[in-house]
Amino acid sequence: MRFKSRTPTAVYEGDFTPMIDMTFQLIAFFALLLNFSQVEQNERIQLPSSELAKPNESPLDYPITLQLTREGNVIIGGQEIPPAALRPYLIKEKQLLQSQGRPVADATVIIRAHKDAVAGIVQELIDRCQREGLERFALRAKEDVKQ
């Protein structure tokens, strides 16, 4: 009696389509996630360089970002206004914070001033914020890395 050899003649290949699709979705997800950290930045604001500037250790609980342009206007919530018209915006931020049951002291005002902005206007912004009960401030600068 003669037996036929049963060696497989077909080559089996795995379907990599689901793995490639999942990899693409992960790349797209992380690319979108990285862009969200840049939401509160305006391209017109060129920060001054500083050797002492360091990135934040941890994210702030409740940041309020004020961006000071070269001309002396303030950008808050995507709107450009003069510093004298800032009070209603700060009141709205305070009310939002209080509606969440949090004290106003939890807010940190981030001031991103253009490198050519007048320093006196930065001080004026801080004074206006302090009159509204905001106490914590963070000034932003570009890290100057010397090699």
At residue 72, the pLDDT reads: 87
Domain assignment present for 58: yes
Domain assignment present for 8: no
Q: Report the CATH number that the domain containing residue 135 is assigned in CATH.
A: 3.30.420.270
What's the mean pLDDT when you consider all of the chain? 79
pLDDT digits (tens, 9 = 90+) for 94-103: 898 889 888 8
| Through-space distance between the first and last CA atoms of the chain, rounded to whole angstroms | 83
Q: Which domain holds residue 95?
A: 49-143
Domain assignment present for 89: yes
Domain assignment present for 68: yes
Domain assignment present for 108: yes
Greater confidence, 12 or 66?
66
Using an 8 Å Cβ cutoff, are 135 and 90 in contact? no
Domain assignment present for 2: no
What's the pTM? 0.63
Query: What CA–CA distance (Å, rounded) separates 142 from 53?
Result: 6
Query: What CA–CA distance (Å, rounded) separates 127 from 111?
Result: 12
Domain assignment present for 74: yes
Using an 8 Å Cβ cutoff, are 73 and 80 in contact? yes
At residue 127, the pLDDT reads: 93
pLDDT-derived band at 23 (thresholds 50, 70, 90) equals: very high
Checking DSSP bridges between strand 107-113 and strand 62-68, what pairing results, if any?
parallel
Domain count, the chain: 1
At residue 116, the pLDDT reads: 82
Query: What CA–CA distance (Å, rounded) separates 118 from 70?
Result: 8
Averaged over 80-106, what is the pLDDT? 89
